[in-house]
Amino acid sequence: MDIRAKPRNLPADERRAVTVEAVIELTAEQNPGDITTAAIAKRMNLTQGALFRHFPSKDAIWQAVMEWVAERLLQRVDRAMQGAASPLLALEAVFMTHIEFVVAHPGVPRLLFGELQRADDTPAKRMTRTLLGSYRQRLSGLIEAGKAGGEVAREVDTAAAVVAFIGSIQGLVMQSLLSGKVKQMRADAPGAFAIYRRGIRSLK
């Protein structure tokens, strides 16, 4: 979607949604910490004054962006889980879904990392922690279900398995950011998950 092609006179809710889209686009192009309200307004062909009629501050914009990320990612994760035939297949579906989300929105990992590194406890940082907590809960549930069903080894430490799962995705993301080849994650993800699966799978 071309944000700049949108008309100026939009309803408030739609204007807020377009603002979020503009920020997501900008995070794919530059360090989120360097994005100013002036840059956001310019991307939208607005003045800063017009932007602040919908958001009281830059922190409010960032909070709205993180709410968008949390909602969209968890929706995709839930759909992936619901469509899988077993807990282990659900874990694989979630892994691949997360990778596809990053490929579609390559600026999101920069945004998440940036918020977690901030010293002050902003609404966006709290939203990021809430997102990660909800994500971990879903993974823990799948791993425990896998143990109960005999797919996952009972001796597997669930908390450690969750960390390893997220760490595998973060490793792929970091490599893609360093190389500038975000789509390469699609090719690398199956092999990375296969290693993870071997580490937690029951051998019985």
Given 28, 55, 82, the domain boundary residue is 55
pTM to 2 decimal places: 0.87
- Range among 23-32, 42-51, 113-122, 189-198 with highest mean pLDDT value: 189-198
Please give the Cα distance from 204 to 92 (Å, whole number): 20
pLDDT at residue 9 in the model = 58
pLDDT at residue 7 in the model = 43
Based on the fold, state whether residues 27 and 120 are members of the same structural domain.
no
Based on the fold, state whether residues 72 and 88 are members of the same structural domain.
yes
Percent pLDDT > 90 in the chain is 58
Q: Is 24 exposed, middle or buried (0-12, 13-18, 19+ CB in 10 A)?
A: buried
**Total tally of structural domains belonging to the chain:** 2
Based on the fold, state whether residues 33 and 117 are members of the same structural domain.
no
The DSSP code for 8 is: S
Based on the fold, state whether residues 106 and 156 are members of the same structural domain.
yes
Based on the fold, state whether residues 24 and 71 are members of the same structural domain.
no
pLDDT at residue 1 in the model = 45
If pLDDT is split at 50, 70 and 90, which confidence band does 178 have?
confident
CATH of the domain at 77: 1.10.357.10
Based on the fold, state whether residues 116 and 154 are members of the same structural domain.
yes
Based on the fold, state whether residues 87 and 120 are members of the same structural domain.
yes
Based on the fold, state whether residues 32 and 71 are members of the same structural domain.
no
For 114-154, write each residue's pLDDT tens digit: 887 877 888 888 888 999 999 999 999 999 999 999 999 99
For 61-74, write each residue's pLDDT tens digit: 999 999 999 999 99
Mean pLDDT, rounded, for 4-16: 61
If pLDDT is split at 50, 70 and 90, which confidence band does 11 have?
low
Say which range, 26-30, 77-81, 159-163, has the weakest mean pLDDT. Answer: 26-30
* C-beta pairs of 176-179 under 8 Å, 24+ apart in sequence: 176/102, 176/106, 177/106, 177/109, 177/110
Based on the fold, state whether residues 33 and 62 are members of the same structural domain.
no
Residue range of the domain that includes 40: 1-55
Three-state DSSP state, 69: helix
Based on the fold, state whether residues 91 and 158 are members of the same structural domain.
yes
- Token pair, residue 199, equals 């580490």
CATH of the domain at 26: 1.10.10.60
Q: Is 6 exposed, middle or buried (0-12, 13-18, 19+ CB in 10 A)?
A: middle
If pLDDT is split at 50, 70 and 90, which confidence band does 10 have?
low
Q: Is the pLDDT score of 200 beyond 80? A: yes
Q: Is the pLDDT score of 50 beyond 50? A: yes
Based on the fold, state whether residues 79 and 180 are members of the same structural domain.
yes
Based on the fold, state whether residues 38 and 114 are members of the same structural domain.
no
| C-alpha count within 13 angstroms, C-beta hemisphere, residue 11 | 2
For 13-38, write each residue's pLDDT tens digit: 787 888 999 999 999 888 888 889 99
